[in-house]
């Protein structure tokens, strides 16, 4: 496309920030909410851009504020790692899940802060010290429970290529953040930003303004394409879920299961969660473009549960609140506080609504989602009745959760549409925030436990 003076003007390839959510719904939020406008303005002033992740997170301004503050501290403020190393580690982490959106974002930032372009040819071109993070990146992304103090020791005692403890904490936080942010990116169908590779075109828009590729990409809701027939068939989904929550609360008040029964229910749920097979189970082969930034592309989650039993990490033995938080704060001052705030906001975020219902206590549902993810990672809360998970999370929702947390690159619009079909997009984005933060905390717990074991 050419402007009046013959300059080619780029046009975004995607319709809005997300392939799953209509652009007008996302824009409506920022128009109506002054607070979100001010957050967007501040973010633009600091970063010089407003990325599509932030626009989708704008459904939840309180969370977005905390997220942007954490990212700013992690990537731009004084810290143990150089600025270009931070972005390179972000590239390594995002590439593990083939998340070209985040890889492209950080490639631009890496070059902007003076990173060596040669490193972008592949991990083997980066310094030995960064190459040594390949194993940590791989295990944390796919099987964090296998991380041991020996892995930590190898990184801290590598002679001239050694990492310091403070640097390693910074590394671990970056890796876990970008693994989980890749989950959010795929889970919300985030489109490439206009200024990155694949985010723009110079071709004019189609004359009709709506082409077949829009439907193929999932732009346009089910109702627009097929009328309201399916929606009416779904009425009652929310009411059924609310009724189950009410019944579970009444059972709580009447009797409490024994410790043995609670342990059995956890083991049952853990085994079941491993057997939930994602519907898109074909192999995803990463392109050389992305796979050059990490080692061992065949290493993944999928084949693991068939052969090994996930060892249980009991929260009273090692928790974020009692152990992880203070370790991060000690080695990376003030950052533990920011992380803790972000976890708390995501976990406690509620508007007391479910679809069109007001004044609903959603704490039981939020806890079931959070604990189900931790259960998939082999993390157990002794005071939680895991029988609630099967009551509150149906199979299509479990398939979505498992795919998003373990192999997010396989998420499709069909999977996004198939769970909680009566709920609003803002509620589904809320779910994705919960999944992202629960995943990050689970990975962090295993990494910090390994560091603690090394230190003691």
Extract the tokens encoding 236.
């009652």
Q: Which residues of 257-268 are buried (b: 16+ CB within 10 A; e: fewer)?
A: eeeeebbebbee
Alpha-carbon distance of 253 to 284, in angstroms, equals 47
Q: Which of 348, 362, 346 is nearest to 423 (CA)?
A: 362
**Distance, CA of 323 to chain centre:** 23
Catalytic residue (choose from 99, 188, 251, 375): 99
Alpha-carbon distance of 365 to 370, in angstroms, equals 9
Residue 82 vs residues 79, 255, 346: alpha-carbon distances, Å: 8, 55, 29
Tokens 């693991």, residue located = 304
For the question of residue 99 being annotated catalytic, the response is yes
Q: Which residues of 207-244 are buried (b: 16+ CB within 10 A; e: fewer)?
A: eeeeeeebeebbbeeeeeeeeeeeeeeeeebbeebbee
Q: Quote the Cα angle for 77-85-56, to 5°.
A: 65
Q: Which residues of 337-367 are buried (b: 16+ CB within 10 A; e: fewer)?
A: ebbbebbebbbebeeeebbeeeebebebbbb
Q: Indicate if the alpha-carbon torsion angle 41, 45, 48, 52 is positive or negative.
A: negative
Question: Residue 285: which residues within 8 A CB-CB, separation 6 or more?
Answer: 297
Spatial contact of 150 and 450, defined as CB atoms under 8 Å apart: no
Extract the tokens encoding 384.
């939680």
Partners of 354 in beta bridges: 357
Q: Quote the Cα angle for 270-273-277, to 5°.
A: 155
Alpha-carbon distance of 125 to 91, in angstroms, equals 14
Q: Quote the Cα angle for 188-407-278, to 5°.
A: 95
Among all residues, which ones are annotated catalytic? 99
């Amino acid at each position: 496309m050419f402007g009046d003076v013959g300059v080619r003007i780029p046009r975004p390839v995607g319709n809005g920030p997300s392939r799953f959510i209509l652009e007008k719904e996302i824009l409506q939020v920022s128009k109506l909410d002054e607070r979100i406008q001010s957050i967007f303005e501040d973010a633009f002033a600091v970063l010089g851009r407003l990325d599509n992740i932030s626009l989708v997170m704008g459904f939840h301004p309180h969370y977005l504020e905390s997220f942007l503050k954490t990212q700013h501290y992690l990537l731009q403020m004084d810290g143990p790692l150089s600025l270009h190393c931070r972005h390179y580690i972000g590239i390594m982490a995002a590439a593990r899940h083939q998340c070209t959106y985040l890889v492209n974002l950080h490639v631009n930032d890496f070059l902007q802060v003076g990173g060596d372009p040669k490193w972008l040819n592949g991990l083997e071109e980066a310094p030995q010290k960064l190459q040594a993070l390949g194993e940590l990146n791989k295990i944390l992304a796919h099987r964090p429970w296998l991380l041991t103090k020996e892995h930590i020791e190898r990184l801290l005692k590598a002679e001239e290529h050694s990492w310091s403890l403070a640097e390693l904490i910074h590394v671990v936080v970056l890796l876990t953040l970008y693994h989980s942010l890749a989950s959010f990116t795929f889970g919300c169908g985030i489109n490439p930003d206009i200024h990155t590779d694949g985010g723009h075109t110079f071709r004019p828009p189609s004359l009709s303004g709506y082409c077949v590729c829009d439907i193929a990409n999932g732009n346009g809701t089910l109702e627009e394409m097929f009328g309201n027939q399916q929606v009416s068939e779904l009425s009652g989904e929310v009411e059924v879920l609310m009724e189950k929550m009410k019944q579970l609360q009444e059972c709580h008040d009447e009797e409490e299961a024994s410790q043995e029964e609670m342990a059995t229910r956890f083991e049952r749920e853990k085994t079941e969660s491993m057997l939930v097979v994602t519907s898109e189970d074909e192999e995803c082969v990463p392109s050389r473009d992305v796979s050059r930034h990490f080692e061992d592309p065949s290493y993944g989650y999928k084949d693991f549960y068939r052969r090994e039993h996930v060892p249980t990490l009991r929260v009273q033995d090692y928790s974020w609140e009692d152990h992880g938080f203070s370790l991060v704060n000690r080695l990376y001052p003030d950052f533990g506080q920011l992380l803790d705030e972000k976890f708390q906001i995501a976990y406690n975020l509620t508007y007391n609504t479910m679809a069109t219902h007001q004044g609903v206590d959603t704490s039981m549902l939020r806890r079931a989602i959070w604990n189900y993810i931790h259960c998939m990672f082999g993390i157990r809360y002794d005071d939680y009745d895991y029988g609630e998970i099967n009551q509150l999370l149906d199979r299509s929702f479990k398939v979505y959760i498992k795919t998003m947390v373990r192999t997010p690159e396989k998420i499709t619009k069909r999977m996004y549409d198939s769970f909680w079909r009566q709920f609003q997009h803002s509620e589904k984005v809320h779910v994705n925030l919960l999944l992202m933060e629960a995943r990050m905390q689970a990975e962090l717990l295993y990494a910090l436990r390994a560091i603690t074991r090394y230190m003691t």
